[in-house]
Structure 1
Amino acid sequence: MFKLLLIEDDTTLYHEIKDRLSSWSYDVYGVTDFNHVMQDFTSIKPDLVIIDIQLPKFDGFHWCRMIRAHSNVPIIFLSSRDHPTDMVMSMQLGADDFVQKPFHFDVLIAKIQAILRRVYNYNTEETVLKTWCGATIDYEKNLVSNETGSIELTKNESFILKQLLEQKNKIVSRESLIKSLWEDERFVSDNTLTVNVNRLRKKLDEIGLGQFIETKVGQGYIAVEEAF
């Protein structure tokens, strides 16, 4: 049974979401003190976190930063605000998805199921280590390392890189990536993919690899191989 931490201060909505998720056999936990969310996170060790943006004391962005400083656990944001910068900020902080309130519960459960399948199943393949442009990619640990250094990727970033490298030197369409990541493109905005790829490229820049992920305008992305 997967453990989910729901960081939501609206008591009515919290219990509604908890009851619905529990009916899908998820073990749902809430926050006991919104001043010390990380204490609950550390003790529960959830498999996925759902965070509202507007919270008492500190907002959801703050807690996302705190969680990301210690863990790559999948994170879904909930928000009643409709400003596009909220979604961009969420993705830049390392969130895996964003759900706009009010939402249809089927959409939320579809997102949760897709993320859990992707995060906890795709690393079971036989090949865990890959080499690319002189770097070693460890899909199990979500690490990319070369002689310059090592970077840690989020689950989404690691998955995107894996999809691109499986078709190295070939263009992977945006539609294909969105379907692979979220399984149904109706549940994710095109901008979410852009933010994730840009964040991946920025991290790869730290070890001199960002230039090898190219954008093909109107087509998609391509991971090119440098000859060594």
Structure 2
Amino acid sequence: MTHSSDSQPRITVWNEYRHEHENPKVSAVYPQGIHRAIADGLSAHGFRQVQTATLDEPEHGLTQGVLDATDVLIWWGHKAHAEVSDEVAARVVARVLGGMGLIVLHSGHFSKVFKQLMGTGCDLKWREANDKERLWVVQPAHPIAQGVGEYIELSAEEMYGEHFDIPAPDELIFLSWFSGGEVFRSGCTFMRGSGKIFYFRPGHETYPTYFHDGIRQVIANAARWAVPTASAPRSFGNRQPLETLPETSQ
């Protein structure tokens, strides 16, 4: 799938939507769900075709038709990774390989989709202790970093620390420092097949991270960056030669 630069990208924001129903602290921060806060941030940045999908919808809201009509999928998951069906996870992976952009947020690093695309365990260190997080921009010329300044500071967040068990990123955009002393590769890009992937670390469910102007700017930038672009056709399997080949003895 290719996307015309003069049309609006079609964004789908996916969220488990479990914490908001089960934890009053989370519902107080995100009364309409984390997915709605992310979608509202995208709308505020000019995106006009933003829809949401959640785990408990039929096929998790990610039917083949929905995915075929999605240019960029944004994924937030945490406590119910195992409840995502293998069939739907494989469907998402296939769409990414075919060109759909993917933005994986926070604890989505443990999702079936991200782990399959990375081919590693994607584990890390973590701590919930109201750490201050400072996300330093280490590639200031990258489109995903535009408009955020030298760093983004979050007064309280969950800590993620190295080692982060992922392949070496194609590009490292953000590096986080936490007040407890840890660092983390918090903004990483990857190419898989024809699809562009961005992993972005912040977003623990009990903090209002997805209302933060800088975080919303990064997600909007990433959505624009991840939109499919025209590319050479992908073809596989046995091929007839383009030129006449000399006969060979069998």
**Same fold, judged at TM 0.5 (above):** no
- Structure possessing the higher radius of gyration over alpha carbons: 2
Higher relative contact order (CA 8 A, sep 6+): 2
Normalized against structure 2, the TM-score is what?
A: 0.40
More helix by share: 1
More strand by share: 2
